[in-house]
Every structure is written in C-alpha cells, then in structure tokens.
Structure 1
Amino acid sequence: MASRKNKKPSIPFRLNVLFFAVFILFSILILRLGYVQIVEGDTYEEDVNETASTSASRVDAPRGIMYDRNGTELVDNNLILTLTYTNQRSYEDEERLQTAEELAELIEFDEEETDRESMPERNLQDYWLLTREKEAEELVSDKEEQRLMENDKDPYEVQLDRITEEQLNDISDEELEVVAIWSEMISGYYDSPQRVKRDLTEGEATAISSRLDELEGVDVTRDFRRDYQYTQAFQSLYGNVGSIPEETVTEFLAKGYQRSDEVGQSFLEEYYEDTLRGKKGTVSGEDDDAEETNNGSRGNDLVLSIDMDLQREVQTIIDDQMGQSEGAFPNDEQAYVTAIDPNTGEILAMNGYDDQLGNVTNTFEMGSTIKPATGMIGLQEEVITENTEINDTPLELPGGVDVSSSHDIGTVDVVGAIQESSNVFMSEIAMRLMDYERGDGANFDLDKVDNSYDTMRDYYSQFGLGEETGIDLPSEATGLDGGTGAPGSLLYFSFGQFDTYTPLQLAQYSATIASDGQRMEPHLVKEIREPNRNTDEMGAVLHQFEPEMLNRVNIDKEYFDIAQEGMYDVVNTDLGTADSYFTDVNMEIAGKTGTAQRSIRRESDNELVEVNNQTFIAYGPYEDPEIAIGVVVPNVYVDDEGGRSGIANSIAADTMQAYVNLKEERPGAGSSEDDAEGENEEDGENAGDEEESGGDEEEQ
C-alpha cells in the first residue's frame, strides 16, 4: 500500500489557475470603478445635471394629404391646440382630482361628454368614493375590511358594489364636468401625454398656459385634426383617425409610436397608415427657455384614383333616382355604383346611397348580369356552340323546379340569350354540364352535379366573382358560397340566383369582360408623393402603382367576342332588355341587365314580401373600353307590390353619360371647401340610410 505522503494535492493545478484569473479580473473591475468615481465623477455629475435641466418632448406632425386623380384636395389637416395630461405614478389621487377641478374652471366640455347617462358607471363610482370619503368608509366596516383582506378580497371592489344609484345621483351637474376631465386624465398610460380636450379655444389655451406652473402634468400642445372634404360623396372610404386600439398597442410601440399617438383606424387611413404618418418633431427646453429644435415633417401624400368630379356626379344621380323611387323599398333604401378603368384597375368612382362601404362589405345575388359568363362557360366547355339554338319555353324539373324567362322568347342562340336574357338557355347549359337531358326524370348523376357546381364556380371566380378583389382597403367581403346544392339549384346558379357577390366584385367582373379576360387588381391610390412644403402643388412622386393583372380568364378570345356581342345588343337593339334606357347616351357601350327575386321580412310589420335585386353591368366605349361599371339596387318591391323597375338601368345610363360629359368639358379641378359643404348639406337632404346585403330578383 502506498504511503499517504505520496498522494497528490486534492485541488488540481488548473483550478488554482482559474481562481487566480478571477482574482485578476475583479481587481481590474475595482480599479476601473474607483477611477470612474474619483477621477471622472465630477464630469459625469455635470452631465446628469445638464440632462436634468433639459427636457425634450415629441411634437405631433400632420398626416399626409389626400388628392383625387386630378389634384383636387380631398383630405387636409387643421392646426389645433390640445390640452394634454401626463400622469405620473408619484401623483396622489387627491392631486389628480384637484387638477381636474382647476381645469374645469378653465375649459368647457360638450354636453354629450358630461351627460350622466352616457358616462361609464365605473368612472362615477370611482369619483364618488374619492370625493365622499366618510360615506365610502361606512360602506365597509373595519372588521369586515380585515376579514376581506385575510381572504385575499379587495375591500374597494366591495365598496363599488354597494354604491347605490341614489348615491351616484348625488353627484351634481357641476361635478360631472370634473368627472369627465378627471376620467380623461387617468385613461392614458403613465408617463405618456393623454389628450384631455382637443381644439381648445383661444381663451382656454391662454388661461391654461398662464397657469402651467401650477397645474402639474398639464400642457398645451399643437395638434392636428383631419379635415375631410366632399364627405357626402366619399366620407366612408376615407376612414378615420383615433387612439391606438388596445389590441394593437404592442405592434405600434414596436414601430416607434407612443401610446398617446393617433393612428388610422379604418379604410384608407388605416391601410396607408405607414405612408400618411408624419415624422414627429422635438421641442427641447433648458431651464425656462424653450426652443424648438426639430419641426418634424408631414406624412407622405396620397393621390387617389378617384375622379371626384365623376364621384359627385354619380352621387347626385343615385340620390335623384332614389328620390324618384320613394315607397319602392320595404326596408331601408340601398344603391351602389363602382366605376373602374378596365385597363388599369383604377377605381374612378365608388358610390353608395349613404354608404360607399357597402360596395366592398355587402353581398347580394346578382341575377342575370352573370349570364355573359355562363354563356362563355358553355362555349369553353363545348356543351354549346355559337350556333346552338334552344327553344325558350318554361322548363320543369323533378322536385318542383320551374324555370322560365320574363317571356317566352322562342328559338334563341347564345348571343340572343344574353340580348333577351334567357333563363332557359342558361339552364340548358347547366343541364348539359351535368349531363342531364329533359325527360330524364330524377335520374341525376350526383357526382356530375357536384362537378358542375365546381366547374361553374371556378370560371366565375376567374372573373373575380366570390374572390377577394385585391383592393387596397383593410378588409373586404368575398360573398356567400352556396356550396353544392340540389341539381335544380344549379339551374338558378347559372343565371345568378345562388351565390352572392359584392358590388365591387360585380364591377371587377364587368371590367374583366371589357378587357377580354384580364382581371386587373382594383385600387384606390395611384401614387404616393412627397409633401411639398413650399407651394400648394403636389410634391415629387415617390411611388406609382403600376397596373397588376391578377389572372387571365381561361376562356378563348373568340368566346369573349360572342358574349360582348350579346351585351352590345342588350343596349343597342330593339330586342335588348335595356335599349330604351341608353338612347341618349353619347357613347357606344355594351351592358347587361339583372334581377334576382327573393322574399324578405318587412321590418315595419314583419310581413313576408316579394322583392328583387336590380343590377347592371356596362362598359364603354365598346371598341376601346375606358370605363366599366357595376350597379346594384337591392331589395326593391316587385312591380305589383308598388316597386319601380329599371332603377339600376337608369343609374347606369346616367353614369355613363356623366363620364362622357366630363370627358368633353371637364369642370374645374374642384370646388372650394364652402362649395363642398353646400353640396354635402344638399345631398344630405335626400340621403337615406343604407343597410346590410340582401338577395336578388330575376332579370327582365
């Protein structure tokens, strides 16, 4: 056995080296800290004192301006003064309340902001507890409070529950303004300015500014309010600006926003937020002398594709036509028009009767406007030819499915079927797609039926029906896909009474036919431009949106020619379903009427009534299209119920003529603000409320 004296040390040599290295590092660190504290301490202390005496705050910058395609200013900014409050954790509740009471003597809130009924009850309760301390203590005894705390329950929540309505009514009307101000003050985030009142009067701003040294956390800052022009004709699509939604705060903070910033909350303002957002300036102050060091810059400007002259003309047309149709609707009146340049996808006008947004959010059965596509499907799938003739007489299928046109047309080919709007011809295409012939009884091959639904829906989607259009807005509806229904429903599907689509999709479909199958992405913005600070003219182009083709419809050009011929005949021949409406239009156009019949509940008495959706598509000039439109007027009484036929046709004809008139002699680039306001007031007198989507009626 080896002797103990011969054993190696228990601590290895490498560990000793490690200990020594750590000792050296700590020694260096201690020496460095001593140097910083002793040698450079005075220098750092001076830097801290200088920083403490200098404050910097960010100053809001205006958002970008919006123009129409002709340079007419649509959205600008008005400079206003805003009262802000920066809440600090160190402030006591009593201090905040005292500040609110002092501000109540200096500013006035609107009556609706100080209305007791509209105020959140929790705000009133919190204020009552804060200002009625003795009564608040009586709501929970000391013994009960101790017991609640032992059981991890908050006595404050119990107090809130026990405040009676009578006690809240004890808050006087004078106090309600304090409550409103105090609520705004504490609704923001700590250390971040919260807007308490925007657009201060000159007197209010002066009074507050003279007492800023007494009002802890209060400031008066420059701010901007969006100024929207032509609100009757286009308001909905501008969107709006407001506080950052709570669910997106983290996202915006990561982009460099402050919690108190305002952002685009809907539609164009939201979609182009990154473009329109201004770059904030900074104000630095040293002691009592403030000096603005960076003015910031306005956001980039948008040039819309909208022609505001055409937009206003179409709005007047819709209002006039709807005014002539009083009593023709069982419920709220609706009407929509979208006009597109079929070559670029640029939206020239997007109008609605009190609602432009319905063009992208509401969906309807579109009726016989779908027939040009159905005719092309039959040709492309080779179940008919250009020379196929079908006898248009009422059709009966098993299961109680009856199909007829508005009248017995007789023998008709595909061009005539579009021209005279034959439901029977389109139904024949659907039957041939599912390999069914008249007289086969109930012998349907259900697999072929399902495949026929898929085939038709695939073609329709290539035209943009039932598909996202790609418009530059935060969201859009795609319509209702009816799935694969019964064999008889396929027949109704063939002439537009099964799936639902948006008015924008209908307009895109019209434009796709006009362009021989090129489905262009629609957009509301043409260009992004730099802000021009020195003149009233627009700045340099930063980005120009090029036309983008989403897809080409998989149908031969010769079949587009056939469908277009049928659409030409609709408005240019005696047998056409809309010839009488377009005799005064000074442009050679093609179009297609549509109606879709349905039943709805009349809201006034809950009775079931018969209505139809009137629709129309058109484009022109016929040989070289510049404009394509889709018109939808849903839920009109059928004629024997007091309805008025042809509303959509009349709107379409007047819209196309308005386009011609503007081309021939365009008015000035835009009206003044006063003219715009006058237009809004006049239009507002005839405006009706817009509602949700409806169904459709069968075409005439």
Structure 2
Amino acid sequence: MKEQKGKKQKSYISIRLNIMFLCIFLLFSAIIMQLGKVQIVEGEAYKNQVESSQNAITSIPVPRGQILDREGKTVVNNKSLRTITYTRVKGITSEDILKTAKDLAKVLEMPEQDINKLTDIDKKDFWMQLNSKRAETKITKKDIEKFKEKGIEGKELDKKIEDLRRGRVTEVELAELTAQDLKVLAIKSKMGSGYQLTPQIIKKDVTDEEYARISENLANFPGVDATVDWERNYVNGNLFRSVLGNITSSEEGLPKENLDSYLVRGYNRNDRVGKSYIEQRYEDVLHGTKEEVKNITDKSGNIVSTEIISKGKSGNSLTLTIDMELQKKVEESIEKNLRAFKSSEPLLDRAFVVMTNPNNGQILSMAGKKIVEKEGKIEFEDLALGNMTTSYELGSAVKGATLLTGYETGAIHPGDQFYDAPMKFKGTQAKKSWNVSGFGNINDLRALQVSSNVYMFQTALKIAGVNYVPNGSLDIKQGAFDTMRYYFKQFGLGVPTGIDLPNEIIGQTRKVDSQPGFLLDFSIGQYDTYTPLQLAQYVSTIANGGYRMQPQIVQEIREQSIKEEVGKVIRSIEPVVLNRIDMKKEHIDRIKEGFRWVFQEGDGTGVKYFKNVPYKPAGKTGTAQTVYGGDDPIGRNAKGERMECYNLTLVGYAPYDNPEVAFSVVVPWLHDDKNGINSIIGKEVLDVYFDLKQQRIYGESTSTGSFKQN
C-alpha cells in the first residue's frame, strides 16, 4: 500500500512539474516572440524614432571676421551682446509656447520697436488664442454650410473659417489686449518664427538682471537659453561707411534673390550675411564655419543635453588697402571745402577724391561727400561709392590721353607746333582755348602746361585725317571717334576699372557722333563721361609708365586675430596688370614731362598750388563746360532747362620721377571755373599723405600745409 501510495505521489509531482515547465516554456516563448517583433518587425521604426529624437543637428553661428585697414587698425569688428534665445523642438504645442512666453514676459522688457512691429493679424490671432470660447461663437453653422455649398472642404474650409473668424474680431475687442499681453505676443512671435532646432533670438543686449534671472532659472523656461551673440561694430562711424557695406539682420536672414545659392552652401534661412559692397563681396571669407551640436531630446521633445559634433571657426579677417587715417583727413578736406564754397556756389553739392598706389593698383583712399541741407544747416552724406557709380565730363584732365593717341596714330609727333588762336568753322561758334586771344605758336608740352584747347582740336583733326580750313566745313567720319575711344579705353576711360566691388558703371559713351564738332569736344574731355575712379586709373597708368592696374580694395585675407595679435596671412591679393597701353615709353615720358610743367614750371595751370611743395608732384588740371546734372530745382532756369555750369577736376602723382601715390579730384557743377576748389583739395590731400608718411617713419610732421577742420 505504501509503495503504491508513494508511486501515486511521485506521479502527481511529476505532472505538476511538467505543467510548470510547460508554463515556463510558453512564457519564454511569448517573451522571445515579443522581442522578435520589437527587433525585427518594428525595430526599424523604433530605430528611426530614437535617431530622430537624439540626432537633431543644430548649427550655431560664429562671430564674423574683422576688417582692418592697411596699418592693421580695426575698421569693423563684433560687439558681444548678452542674448536670450529660444529653440523650438519637435512636438511643441502653441500652448507650450504661450506659457513660456508669459513666463519670459515677467522677466524681460521688450524693445518698443518689437511691439510696434506687431500687425493687426498678429493681435487678432492672439486675442482668439486668449479668448478661444468667445472666438468660437464668431462662426455659426450657417457660415460653415455656406462654404460647403460652394464645395469648399478640408484644409481650405479650415482656412476660410479661420479668416472669417479673424475678420470678425473688432477693434473694441483688440483694445482688451493690455501692454503686458502685447509684450507676451512680441515674445511669442519671435519664439514661433524660424525653424525647428534653430535658435531664435528673443532679445539682444539684455540687462544684467534679465540675464541673471533667466540664466539661473533655465529649467523653468523650456527651450530658452542665455547666451552671447554679436552685432557688427563699425569703429569709425560714418567714415568710409558706404563702401564697407552692411549685413542682414537675423529677421531679414538670407536675401530672397540669392536664397538657393546660400542654402546649398549650408546657410540657414535666418543667417546674417553681407548684403552690400565689401561685406557682401567677401561674404565667403568673413562668414566663418558654424559650430554643429547634436541636441539630445527626451520622448516629449525637450532638449536634455547637447553634444558638440564639430567646433565652429570664426570668419577670417580682411586687410584693406585703405589707410583710414588718410581717409579721415581726405574726408575732412572735402567737407571743409564744400562748406567754404557752398555760399557762393548754389549748385555745388558734392566732391570726390581717389588716391592710389600707381604701381600696384591699391586704393589708399576713396572719398566722396554730398551736402544735405537740413533745417538750414549743412550736413554731409558719405558718397564714397559715387567714385565708381557716378560719372561726369572731366575736361582737360584727359588731354594726356588725347596727345598720346595723336602720337601713336602718327597724327602728331613730340615737339610738333600749332598756332593757338580761335578756330572758326562754318555754321558754328568759334572753338577756342580758355585764353580767348590764344597762346600763339605752342608745342605739345606748352599745350599741356597752359591747357590749350586748340592744340587738342588740331590733334583730333589730324587723327581724323582732316586739315583745318578757316570758315570751312568739317567732314569727320565715325572711325575717328572709334580710334580715339580705342586708345582712351586702354587707360580705363570708358571701360570697367576692374575694382573688386559690385555696381561699378563705365560712364556714358554718347551715341550722337554725327556732328563733326563733337570729336573736338571729345578731345578736351567735354563729350563722353567718366567716373572719378576711371580718372584715377588713367593718371596711374601714365604715372607707372603705361600699365593699367586693377584697383584693389583688399590686400590680404588673415586668420581671425586672437586678443591683440593680428592673425597670420592666409592669402595675399597680388597686383593685376589689366593691360599695357599700346604706346611707346618715350611718348609716355613726354606726357609725364608735360604734367611736370603743369605743376612746377612757369605759368602752368597748377603752379600756384604745387610749385614749392617738397614732394615734387606732376599732374593736370581740368575744367569742363557742362549743364547741371543733379535733381535740385535750383539747377533749372525759369523755363525748366538745366543751367550751364562747370566741372572742375585734377589728376596728379608724386614724386614725379618715382611716383608712389596718384590721385584724382572731381568737383561737379560750379558757376566759377576759376575758384580753384579742385586744386585746393588736391594739394591738401597730397600734403596729408606725405605728412602721415613722415610721421610714421620719423615721428614728426613735414609741415607741408596741413589743414584744420572748421
């Protein structure tokens, strides 16, 4: 009995064990199947979900490169600003943003301009968000049925309803929004702009208290960060300001016209980029490489940590060819003389100066000023760009090109003489020099020295293959114009100078060449128009012996400076010879000697200003009869016709036997052609150039006649 009972008990235990093992087997099988489902069936989906939450890459802007002058002095740098930003993550709701905006509004004061930017649509949408139940009552079932009857459904229906609801928010209801509400809205608008995982600036230049309260309580402001941003700082105020250019704000972001070009290069839509002149032209150099970080987010989309993927690098720096100390003195000279002459010259409103190194094309100074009268007071706008974006008849300053054209075509030869007396042609007024009685027999050097028009007229006729017959008619073919323009263009007159800046013009090449007398006007600089920069390139080409150099505004690209140390040179911008003029060296030297006579010998038209200066310059004065080309009604007579006036110009270089600086001066629209403003400015800027050179070498002034700003 006992044995049978024991056997039954063992059998019972065995069955129970088998059942238990079966249950365990089934349980593990279920677990394995579930793991298989997770790993094999749903694994890819989970993997994508994890990666999408953890591998969100964000680009962080870096400071823009600096701009230095040729002496290494800072022209443009970056000002650090304590900044509050917000980064919108995936899955964030409008209510989440509103809550954070309300919390921020308790700490931040927003600039008035941000409040003023809010539109009625912004305010109505915000009112509806704050008053959702009241907003719902503005749409009836009947309104919805009307839309549906027109076949409007889905998203289009939602939009129609929303537009209708917004349109029914009244001015009285908008007035319910308090000043605090508007501040919240301004913050919320900034938080909602831009793109996911791209930091949006809420406020720059926050106060110490604002920065501290937010940075110490970031856990209470999801997505908010207290950081340091930058804004461009133009160290010298308005000095050379228009040429330096501007950058976009983060609100402007990338220019629409170049959007695709920037996006394919890795820019974000709200990046700040150069939008004009130097800042735009050298964007790729100045912009730098953004830092990339990986935001680690939790399942709710909150950023829990960040990991640096690649460190950013600040933009590289530019070293300009401009000497900002010289630039300042040149601008002061222009302003001083415009102010001094304005009372006697009602049409006068601008003047230009370009100074270059004729041997390499580097621009040392490019200055322009325009008078703006406000409430009876004279103020000045920077018009430096006018040196390359405006053109004028430049008068006798271009006579060197006329004579060289005559030499090279064989029309005249060095030393040839013509009798300077008024020239009379059938059906026209006499053509004569400024000395109405004439200069008698003169050669080419004397013609330059006293600025003889008649000598240039005779040269132009010879180029055209025409002999002068008193009271006779002229028969000049188009080919004569083409020939003279061909040679003028070799100096840069009437063609792009090649400057590394946008928007340069080439002047006006007049098309009405059918009247023979126009060739005579062309020969003395009173027909086609040229820019002050073209004029500087022309005289530089003569000064250096016949090489037309490309004007340069940047001489080096450097690594960003560390503390006070200048960064090392990455690239030097080498001089570029655009062309060698088709003219013999002895012919160029002949013109250079004539230019020396103008400034240093006898009754040369520039002797009064330049004879006794120690730096021994050479050059050519210029006067062009023209008509007023501005917009001021004062420049028109009672019939609405433009008034006649003069453009005064000057070109030169120094020292005459080893030129290191060349210059052009252009002062348009004067009544008095003998007031000398062109020569006064020309002497002052040369004085300053050599004075600064002396100070830098020896620590003392040359005392060549430096001037004081009134």
Q: TM-score, normalised by structure 1?
A: 0.80
SS of corresponding position for 1:325: helix
Asked if 1:664 corresponds to 2:680, the answer is no
Aligned equivalent of 1:627, options 647, 652, 661: 661
Asked if 1:549 corresponds to 2:577, the answer is yes
What corresponds to 2:393 in structure 1? Answer: 365
Asked if 1:82 corresponds to 2:83, the answer is yes
SS of corresponding position for 1:241: coil
CA separation of 1:49 and 1:624: change in aligned 2, threshold 3 A: same
Q: Cα offset for 1:577?
A: 1.0
Using CA pairs below 8 Å that are at least 6 residues apart, which structure has the higher relative contact order? 1
CA separation of 1:367 and 1:172: change in aligned 2, threshold 3 A: farther
The alignment yields a C-alpha RMSD, in angstroms, of 3.6
What corresponds to 1:71 in structure 2? Answer: 72
Contact 1:307/1:348, CA 8 A, preserved across alignment: yes
Aligned equivalent of 1:230, options 233, 236, 252: 236
SS of corresponding position for 1:264: coil
CA separation of 1:474 and 1:133: change in aligned 2, threshold 3 A: farther
Aligned equivalent of 2:627, options 599, 604, 613: 599
Deviations 1:544-568 (A, max 9, x none): 1221100011112122122112111
CA separation of 1:295 and 1:502: change in aligned 2, threshold 3 A: same
Choose 549-558 or 296-305, whichever is displaced more: 296-305
What corresponds to 2:356 in structure 1? Answer: 340
Asked if 1:322 corresponds to 2:338, the answer is yes
Asked if 1:209 corresponds to 2:206, the answer is no
Instruction: For 2:559, give the aligned amino acid.
Output: E
SS of corresponding position for 1:666: helix
CA separation of 1:418 and 1:96: change in aligned 2, threshold 3 A: farther
Choose 269-278 or 194-203, whichever is displaced more: 194-203
Question: Based on CA coordinates, which of the two structures has the bigger radius of gyration?
Answer: 2
Contact 2:425/2:474, CA 8 A, preserved across alignment: no
Asked if 1:383 corresponds to 2:389, the answer is no
In structure 1, how many angstroms separate the alpha carbons of the residues matched to 2:425 and 2:190?
Answer: 67
CA separation of 1:324 and 1:47: change in aligned 2, threshold 3 A: same
Q: Cα offset for 1:136?
A: 7.2
In structure 2, how many angstroms separate the alpha carbons of the residues matched to 1:336 and 1:360?
Answer: 10
Contact 1:586/1:657, CA 8 A, preserved across alignment: no
In structure 2, how many angstroms separate the alpha carbons of the residues matched to 1:151 and 1:488?
Answer: 75
In structure 1, how many angstroms separate the alpha carbons of the residues matched to 2:237 and 2:119?
Answer: 31
Asked if 1:611 corresponds to 2:645, the answer is yes
In percent, how many aligned pairs have the same letter? 36
CA separation of 1:45 and 1:123: change in aligned 2, threshold 3 A: closer
In structure 1, how many angstroms separate the alpha carbons of the residues matched to 2:137 and 2:465?
Answer: 84
Q: Cα offset for 1:385?
A: 1.9
In structure 2, how many angstroms separate the alpha carbons of the residues matched to 1:66 and 1:279?
Answer: 17
Instruction: For 1:206, give the aligned amino acid.
Output: A
Number of residue-to-residue matches in the alignment: 630
What corresponds to 1:252 in structure 2? Answer: 262
Structure 2, unaligned runs of 5 or more: 1-34, 297-302, 370-381, 638-642, 700-707
Q: Cα offset for 1:75?
A: 1.9
In structure 2, how many angstroms separate the alpha carbons of the residues matched to 1:499 and 1:128?
Answer: 63
CA separation of 1:668 and 1:569: change in aligned 2, threshold 3 A: closer
Instruction: For 1:666, give the aligned amino acid.
Output: R
CA separation of 1:331 and 1:176: change in aligned 2, threshold 3 A: farther
CA separation of 1:135 and 1:385: change in aligned 2, threshold 3 A: farther
Choose 649-658 or 73-82, whichever is displaced more: 73-82
Q: Cα offset for 1:481?
A: 1.8
SS of corresponding position for 2:342: coil
What corresponds to 1:26 in structure 2? Answer: none
Instruction: For 2:669, give the aligned amino acid.
Output: N
Contact 2:424/2:471, CA 8 A, preserved across alignment: no
What corresponds to 1:465 in structure 2? Answer: 493
In structure 1, how many angstroms separate the alpha carbons of the residues matched to 2:383 and 2:421?
Answer: 40
Asked if 1:479 corresponds to 2:519, the answer is no
SS of corresponding position for 2:616: coil
Choose 393-402 or 540-549, whichever is displaced more: 393-402
CA separation of 1:187 and 1:41: change in aligned 2, threshold 3 A: closer
CA separation of 1:460 and 1:158: change in aligned 2, threshold 3 A: farther
What corresponds to 1:269 in structure 2? Answer: 279
Deviations 1:249-291 (A, max 9, x none): 2211111122222112221111111111222224456674556
CA separation of 1:188 and 1:554: change in aligned 2, threshold 3 A: same
Contact 2:330/2:685, CA 8 A, preserved across alignment: yes
SS of corresponding position for 2:687: helix
SS of corresponding position for 1:365: coil
Instruction: For 2:666, give the aligned amino acid.
Output: V
Aligned equivalent of 1:301, options 304, 313, 317: 317
Q: Cα offset for 1:219?
A: 3.4
What corresponds to 2:453 in structure 1? Answer: 423
Instruction: For 1:226, give the aligned amino acid.
Output: R
SS of corresponding position for 1:542: strand
Q: Cα offset for 1:301?
A: 1.8
